[in-house]
Amino acid sequence: MRDQRGYAICDAVIERGETAQLLEVICGAGSARTRAGARHLLNVPAVRTIAEDPRLRKLAAQFLGQEPVPFRATLFDKSSGSNWLVAWHQDTVLPVRQRSDDPAWGPWSTKAGVLCARAPVWALERVVALRISLDDSTSTNGPLRVLPDTHRRGVLSAAEIERLGEIIAPVDCTTSAGGAVVMRPLTVHASSKSASDGPRRVLHIEYATSLTLRSGIELAVS
């Protein structure tokens, strides 16, 4: 699975009952919510526990090639009342503890109180995301879509991403509750609006090879 196409779909990573427990805890955790979901969920003990679960760490390690460290967890909550389209893009922004003078990092911003910067390719190659489906993800409820192999092309411009969206056949990443999509941040991905009345909630957990990526560059944990 490691480094093959920039993503992998893995069924039954955790039990369906565990997804229901996670939803109950997250919804009652008092985390700052928006219509689209919630950030900073590694501060929730149950989320921290699942992020450090050997089943998830093993998946992340297959992509990273070494023991992974979770550094960020986010809930994405798409439903009929909060429905949106996400255009083709790469995830190129990482949370960091302090600003760096390295010109490869930036522009800089603050998101929900956390310092963030657009990261260079070498840093993004040390990161992988596990998207745990807390509900069944189907072809009709706005699933994650990916363009295979695009993680090998580096950080792309908007025009380059648009062109790839026209020439590469996309893959819908569907799985039942408890399944996961493992994805490299440079894999071009998107999602359409949901055509279903039911929710599609995803716990997005990001892992790195280390919190210290390089001297002076340390990931913030959220």
For 147-197, the pLDDT digits (tens) are 999 999 999 999 999 999 999 999 999 999 999 999 999 999 999 888 888
Tell whether the torsion through CA atoms of 55, 59, 65 and 67 is positive or negative.
negative
Neighbours of 213 (CB within 10 A): 20
What is the predicted pLDDT for the residue at 80? 64
* CATH superfamily for domain 7-90+127-210: q2cbj1_9rhob like domain (2.60.120.620)
Give per-residue pLDDT as tens, 9-35.
Answer: 999 999 999 999 999 998 876 666 666
Mean per-residue pLDDT, 58-62: 96
Residue 182's nearest CA partner among 96, 57, 54 is 57
pLDDT at 198 (0 to 100): 81
- Which helix (H) or strand (E) is 56 found in, with range? helix 54-64
Region for residue 92 given its phi and psi (left: phi exceeds 0; alpha: psi -120 to 50; beta: otherwise): alpha
Distance CA(220)–CA(76), nearest Å, equals 20
For 124-137, write each residue's pLDDT tens digit.
999 999 999 999 99
With a cut of 70, say whether residue 3 has pLDDT above it.
no
Q: Please, which residues bridge with residue 214 across strands?
A: 217
Sheet of 108-111, strands arranged across: 93-95, 114-118, 108-111
What residue spans define the domains of the chain?
Answer: 7-90+127-210
> What b/e sequence results for 184-212 when a residue is b if at least 16 CB atoms lie within 10 Å of its CB, and e otherwise?
bbbbbbbbbebebeebbbbbbbbbbbeee
Q: What average pLDDT does this structure show over 36-56?
A: 94
User: In whole numbers, what is the pLDDT of the chain averaged over residues?
Assistant: 93
